[in-house]
Structure 1
Amino acid sequence: MSNVTRLPGPIAEVWDWQRNGACRGRDSAQFFHPDGERGASRARRENAAKAVCGSCPVRAECAAHALAAKEPYGVWGGFTETERIRLLASGWEDAAERGRYRVDVRRLEARLGLPTRVMSTAPPGVIAAQRRRPGRRPSLGRVPVTVR
Structure 2
Amino acid sequence: MTTTTISPARHRSLGDHTWQDQAVCQSTEYNPVDPEIFFPEPDETTKITAAKSLCGQCPVRRTCLDAALEGGDTHGIRGGMTEEEREPLHEKLASRLDYSRVNATIAGRDVHLTKAERRAVVRAAYRHGLTEQRLAWLLKISEEHAQKLYRETRRALRNRDLEQTTKATSPPETDGERLGRDDFGTAA
- TM-score normalised by the chain length of structure 2: 0.41
Tell me, in whole angstroms, the C-alpha distance in 2 between the residues paired with 1:81 and 1:59.
15
Quick check: 1:75–1:81 contact (8 Å CA) kept in 2? yes
What residue is the counterpart of 2:96 in the other structure?
93
Larger radius of gyration between Structure 1 and Structure 2: 2
1:62 aligns with 2:64: yes
What residue is the counterpart of 2:51 in the other structure?
49
Which of the two has greater strand per residue?
1
Q: Deviations over 1:76-110 (max 9, x none)?
A: 110111111111123472357413769xxxxxxxx
Asked which structure has the greater RCO (Cα within 8 Å, sep 6+), the reply is 1
Tell me, in whole angstroms, the C-alpha distance in 2 between the residues paired with 1:81 and 1:90.
15
The one-letter code of the counterpart of 1:93 is: R
Following TM superposition, the consecutive aligned residue runs of length 4 or more in structure 1 with deviations greater than 2 angstroms are: 90-97, 99-102
The one-letter code of the counterpart of 1:30 is: I
Tell me, in whole angstroms, the C-alpha distance in 2 between the residues paired with 1:48 and 1:22.
12
* Pairs aligned (count): 87
The one-letter code of the counterpart of 1:49 is: A
Change beyond 3 A, Cα 1:75–1:38: closer
CA RMSD of aligned residues (A): 2.5
Matched ranges for 1:69-148 at <5 A: 69-91=71-93, 93-95=96-98, 97-98=100-101, 99=104
Match for 2:34 among 8, 27, 32? 27
Using the TM superposition, give the Cα deviation of residue 48 of structure 1 relative to its aligned residue in structure 2, in angstroms: 1.1
Quick check: 1:31–1:74 contact (8 Å CA) kept in 2? yes
Tell me, in whole angstroms, the C-alpha distance in 1 between the residues paired with 2:99 and 2:56.
18
Change beyond 3 A, Cα 1:38–1:58: closer
Structure 1 gap segments, 5+ residues each:
1-7, 103-148
Change beyond 3 A, Cα 1:57–1:68: same
Tell me, in whole angstroms, the C-alpha distance in 1 between the residues paired with 2:59 and 2:79.
10
Tell me, in whole angstroms, the C-alpha distance in 1 between the residues paired with 2:74 and 2:99.
19
The one-letter code of the counterpart of 2:34 is: D
Using the TM superposition, give the Cα deviation of residue 70 of structure 1 relative to its aligned residue in structure 2, in angstroms: 1.1
SS at match of 1:94: coil
- TM-score normalised by the chain length of structure 1: 0.51
Q: Deviations over 1:5-48 (max 9, x none)?
A: xxx86x4xx21100010000121101012xxx342x2x221121
